[in-house]
Amino acid sequence: MSLVVVGSVALDTVETPFGRAEAVLGGSGTYFSAAASLFHPVRLVGVVGDDYPVDELGFLRARGVDMEGLERASGPSFHWVGRYDFDLNTAHTIDTRLGVFADFKPQLPASYRDAEWVFLANIDPDLQLEVLDQVSSPRLVACDTMNFWIQGKKDALLRLLERIDLMLLNEAEIRQLTGKANLLRGAREVMARGPKAVVVKKGEHGAMLYTDEGVFFVPGYPLEQVFDPTGAGDSFAGGFLGHLAAGGVVDVEHLRRAMVYGSAMGSFAVERFSAGRLKDLTVEEVHARVREFRRMTHFELAERAGEALGSGIR
Amino acid sequence: MSLVVVGSVALDTVETPFGRAEAVLGGSGTYFSAAASLFHPVRLVGVVGDDYPVDELGFLRARGVDMEGLERASGPSFHWVGRYDFDLNTAHTIDTRLGVFADFKPQLPASYRDAEWVFLANIDPDLQLEVLDQVSSPRLVACDTMNFWIQGKKDALLRLLERIDLMLLNEAEIRQLTGKANLLRGAREVMARGPKAVVVKKGEHGAMLYTDEGVFFVPGYPLEQVFDPTGAGDSFAGGFLGHLAAGGVVDVEHLRRAMVYGSAMGSFAVERFSAGRLKDLTVEEVHARVREFRRMTHFELAERAGEALGSGIR
């Protein structure tokens, strides 16, 4: 039941209205692994430079993250420098130093190739396609992307869509990819190109899952303060796929619950800089937050039709 | 168990990307009555001019809306002229012809004064206060407002807050009223001033209920096309209070379900111009949509903690 993620393992320098963090652990592969490994072992594929503080990934190793696929190349690590203003929904990129990531060619170790669960984090869709060529018969492939690739590599992305099961996009991305302002129509358009499920991430407004069986919504967890939004989407994906892989079942009930585990992990990720909160987090805390999500969304239908109809008119 | 609404009974001329409607039924009192009367009789307080097509309100009368409180004054009726562009979340006002509404002084008929349930739709907060002076011992008073009054009549609004049970606001309004960007903090601030419950309406992103017992979320109903957003908020309020009044119980379960009935009514209201859809709507259709909301939000917790934890690490 192996779960493989291919993504960036980076350094982030982030400034928010609440403080600044310098060259801390970042990257989609890192956030995904930190979230998913609470539920299921993870096999990580990525590249770091010779300046990377590999020791700081020790907490991932302790949680069962296999790093055979983490290449160490000579040169500087990928380093993202960004800023959030009070509108924490928008990241302002100050500098993107790709370093060794510029030449990243994902190579899956032999032991990874029977992966059942695959997460293709946001990298060049041509590389995402190459990863798929290296896995023999995955059970579920999920994929993320960004505006840059939708703009510049749309053809590769459309070829990729034919080969994946689940696409994760934010609102702007699904509109850009499909040309549909309406999310329902956009999701249907994406599904017509291959994926059996589409997740639309709406930040503080929550997330939606579209499948043939309909729509499922999870609200954003109501935090009093979002400290640093970096990594929320990849932590969501980690909670989502980690939960699915742990259960080993892909049906509507498990997909729904995976949405909630994803949302819970995204909400924890933004409580501190870097993967700070995910590092300390226990599975029990996650379950407790999932129960909170349940309390925040569940209601009972009126016991008798008459109650809702009222005593008034017929 | 009488339910009284005080609000505008107006004419609307609306243009959307999908068409134009000229001098059609509009106004907060109208939308509220159309929605609430599906569940419970309504007593309407408002004013119309001598040009108003009163016959068109016949469907409300047939549903048990008492119009003794609907004053007919000499002069033109309140007429709102507005436009929505493709961003249907924002109404652009072209003209507001107050007509007889400029001198509106709500007078509750004697038979209305024992009202148990009161909805103060968006009018001058000084008038909302005067309405409260005319009801003897309401069980639940809910109130709406808008940016114009928060800006210009904040003191009256704060006095009003001390006397109401439930405040309905949209995101911009709660931020403007409380100065808090964070909705959780804003809701707490409003509740500190009196109301035991706050509803924050987020348009397509749904609605949230804040009470001492926590937060409850309802998503926006995923419509493929929002035809005309006018009246969504008042229809929400109508579904909410109509459901509460019909059940006759105010507890957490009923408030939660009222949120869903409100959301359902808001979603129907935007499917056509004016109150067109609310006019045709049956209670059965509303119940069916409420069941859809349940399918869109409910999930089961993992049967055994072990499933969510997975077979991997301990």
In a domain, A196, yes or no: yes
In a domain, B305, yes or no: no
Give the domain range for residue B69. Answer: 3-299
pLDDT of residue B177: 97
Q: Determine whether the interchain pair B40/A216 forms a contact, defined as Cβ–Cβ distance below 8 Å.
A: no
pLDDT tens column, B88-115: 878 899 999 999 999 999 999 999 999 9
Residue type at B124? Answer: D
Q: Determine whether the interchain pair A291/B298 forms a contact, defined as Cβ–Cβ distance below 8 Å.
A: no
pLDDT tens column, A48-105: 999 999 999 999 999 999 999 999 999 999 999 999 987 787 889 999 999 999 999 9
Q: Which of A12, A35, A16, A13 is nearest to A233 (CA)?
A: A35
Mean pLDDT score across all residues of chain B: 94
- Rounded to whole angstroms, what are the CA distances from B279 to A114, A139, B272, B282? 59, 49, 10, 9
d(C-alpha B172, C-alpha B181), whole Å:
9
In a domain, B215, yes or no: yes
A184 touches chain B (CB under 8 A): yes
In a domain, B208, yes or no: yes
For residue A106, pLDDT over 60 is answered with yes
Q: Determine whether the interchain pair A217/B297 forms a contact, defined as Cβ–Cβ distance below 8 Å.
A: yes
Residue A47: partners with Cβ closer than 8 Å, 6 or more residues away: A9, A70, A71, A72, A73, A78, A100, A101, A104
Q: List the single residue in A with minimal CA-CA distance to B180.
A: A224
Local confidence band at A307 (pLDDT 50, 70, 90 cut-offs): low
pLDDT of residue B1: 65
Q: List the single residue in B with minimal CA-CA distance to A40.
A: B312
pTM (2 d.p.): 0.94
Tell me if residue B182 falls in helix, strand or coil: coil
Q: Is A304 exposed, middle or buried (0-12, 13-18, 19+ CB in 10 A)?
A: exposed
pLDDT of residue B87: 77
In a domain, B312, yes or no: no
d(C-alpha A229, C-alpha A24), whole Å:
14
> Where residue B244 sits, what CATH number does that domain have?
3.40.1190.20
Local confidence band at A308 (pLDDT 50, 70, 90 cut-offs): very low
In a domain, A207, yes or no: yes
Instruction: Quote the number of domains for chain A.
Output: 1
Distance between A309 CA and the closest CA of chain B, angstroms? 5
Strand runs labelled E in B172-286: 197-201, 207-211, 214-218
Q: Determine whether the interchain pair A39/B291 forms a contact, defined as Cβ–Cβ distance below 8 Å.
A: no
Question: Using the 8-state DSSP alphabet, how is residue A5 labeled?
Answer: E
Show the DSSP H helices in A19-153 as ranges: 28-36, 58-62, 125-133, 147-152
For residue A231, pLDDT over 60 is answered with yes
* Residues B260, B218 contacting (CB under 8 angstroms): yes
In a domain, A163, yes or no: yes
Q: Which residue has the tokens 């585990």?
A: A261
In a domain, B175, yes or no: yes
Q: Which residue has the tokens 């939606």?
A: A208
Contact map slice: A 200-229 vs B, CB within 8 A: 202, 205-206, 208, 214-217, 219, 222-225
In chain A the first and final C-alpha atoms are separated, in Å, by 57
Residues in chain A closer than 8 A to B307 (CB atoms): 246-247
Q: Determine whether the interchain pair B206/A222 forms a contact, defined as Cβ–Cβ distance below 8 Å.
A: no
pLDDT tens column, A162-187: 999 999 999 999 999 999 989 999 99
Local confidence band at B307 (pLDDT 50, 70, 90 cut-offs): low
Q: Which residues pair with B224 in a beta bridge?
A: none
ipTM: 0.92
pLDDT of residue A314: 32
- List the structure tokens of A225: 């303060």
pLDDT of residue A18: 87
Q: Determine whether the interchain pair B246/A1 forms a contact, defined as Cβ–Cβ distance below 8 Å.
A: no
Phi, psi (degrees; rounded to nearest 5) at A224:
-75, -30
Neighbours of A252 (CB within 10 A): 16
